[in-house]
Amino acid sequence: MKKLSNILLEVHLAEICEMLNESVVDVAKYATQKHKGQTRSGGLPYITHPMQVANNIMKYKASHNLDALVKAALLHDTIEDTDTTHEDLEKLFGGLVASLVKELTSDKKEIDKVGKTEYLAKKMVQMSSYALVIKLADRLDNVSDIKTAKTPAWRQKYKRETETILKKLEKERKLSNTHKKIIKAIKDKLSEVD
């Protein structure tokens, strides 16, 4: 009998592949292989997170580059969390996808220097519109189960961090309707935290 996590993984992959072209299947398989053995804090395979980010993109964004955005969403943590390089992604999936993933990749040295919240807030203000859509879809997935995630202290810290980032975004950059819709969804989830 298959584990529940494997069944959920197959369902997410099937949903994504049904909606987009066949090249997304190759990206999903690549990302799944690269994140093999990694898990989320709740125990599910890590790839369920990039797949949900891709689902969020499909839910909120209409674009002639939707396939590239979904591919980048599926791959968004590969440079940061696996042995994947920007060059690998560019060779396999093209310049736009690779550049988006590179733009979404955090600089750990800079985070250590200025702190994660300040780093992310500044980075997100300066991102391209496409990268910001993916980053917000990523944050939306991260807060989607915030009511039950980790400890109450962790939830409060993550909520404050997210609110700080969103305030800076709303104050310092022009936001598209897509950005605004995802930000509203994030705020709605944050409101569930005591």
* 19 and 113 assigned to the same domain: no
Question: Could you give the CA distance from residue 17 to residue 71 in angstroms, rounded to a whole number?
Answer: 11
| Active-site choice (18, 22, 67, 80) | 80
Selected catalytic residue, list 81, 112, 170, 172: 81
Q: What's the domain count of the chain?
A: 2
How far apart are alpha carbons 181 and 184 in whole angstroms? 5
Domain boundary among 62, 85, 104: 104
Same domain, 77 and 150: no
Mean pLDDT by 10 residues, the chain (194 residues): 51 58 84 92 86 93 92 96 97 97 96 96 97 98 81 88 97 97 96 81
Check whether residue 9 and residue 54 sit in a common domain. Answer: yes
Is 144 in contact with 189 (CB distance < 8 Å)?
yes
Regarding whether 163 and 98 lie in a shared domain, the answer is: no
Cα separation, 80 vs 85, in Å, equals: 9
pLDDT of residue 108: 94
Among residues 104, 135, 152, the one where a domain terminates is: 104
125 & 53 share domain: no
81: annotated active-site residue: yes
Give 128's DSSP letter.
-
77 catalytic residue (yes or no) = no
Range of the domain at 5: 1-104
96 and 124 share one domain:
no
pLDDT for position 1: 39
Q: What is the pTM of this model?
A: 0.89
The pLDDT assigned to 121 comes to 96
DSSP assigned state of 43: S
Residue 16: exposure state from Cβ atoms within 10 A (0-12, 13-18, ≥19) = buried
